[in-house]
Structure 1
Amino acid sequence: RFWFFLTLFLCAVSSSQDGISAAEVELRVRPGDNITLYCDCTITTGVYIMWYRNCSHTYQPPLVISAKDLIYNRLPGYNVVWNPSNNSYDLLIENITESDLGLYYCGTVENKVVDDGGKGGIKQKELYLYGNISTRISLGKNSYYSVFIFCLYLWYY
């Protein structure tokens, strides 16, 4: 698994250097697997990591997870892992089930104080930004070869 995530990380880094704005990787898992999803967003003072999941299942609603919620373990099966190399929180999903399948991506939210439009006051506004990497989790055997081919494609183009 180490080599898989290293390949995924290097692929993401190289794609951002080549001017590609977003990358989607498919990760095939088996029920019971534990996986860690990399977040390419960086936090600073007042900026918080958010994780999002969109499902292709019609019966599964979108999921929005704040790193603050996960730090206090408010969502069973999901945890955040501090990543000091990019000052961010990666998402650890433990004991994967079919309900965890879908498209995951991270982003940031920042509370900004702005002028209220000339009304003599200020108001708080949330600014949302999204990362460049999304990971589609689906059932099946892990295919390290497909990740390798995906990276070759990104490096070539």
Structure 2
Amino acid sequence: MADRVLRRRVAKREIIARTGSAGDWRNWAKSVVLWNLALDQEHKPFLGGCTNCRGVITVNHASQPSQIVPTVDYTALAHASKFVAPGAYRVESNSFDQGSLEDVAFRNPDGSLVLLVLNGTGGNLAFNIAWAGKYASCKLPGGGVATFRWNFTAPAH
């Protein structure tokens, strides 16, 4: 919400970075810094300012030897790194308040469209993708991330 207020106040300026988690990718920043790179199994060290931040990886010291566990942000970052090209820009997408279903869409310089979808729940979620009069029904397991890419062809005028 604060990002949207900031965007209205500085609409003509670029927002270079925004710290947070994958959900912040929708909020006008030219780049995103994921916070933190690594946290322990209790989400520490906690430095304040974020009540639900997670690391890109979790270092679980409760197990011996310690385990490094990738989080959903790790997976989302991997998907974005592979499918969202430098110079891409975010385009409107909407999950219609599906609770823990997060989405963000981009248009690459080659004209292709990329949709990243993240299921923040522990259970399966069903959702639909609608674009230019075509529809696809999808299911995503709990904690899952999916990427959809298609070529965009502008309608003839």
The structure richer in helix per residue is 1
Higher relative contact order, structure no. (Cα contacts within 8 Å, ≥ 6 residues apart): 1
TM-score (norm 1): 0.23
The structure richer in strand per residue is 1
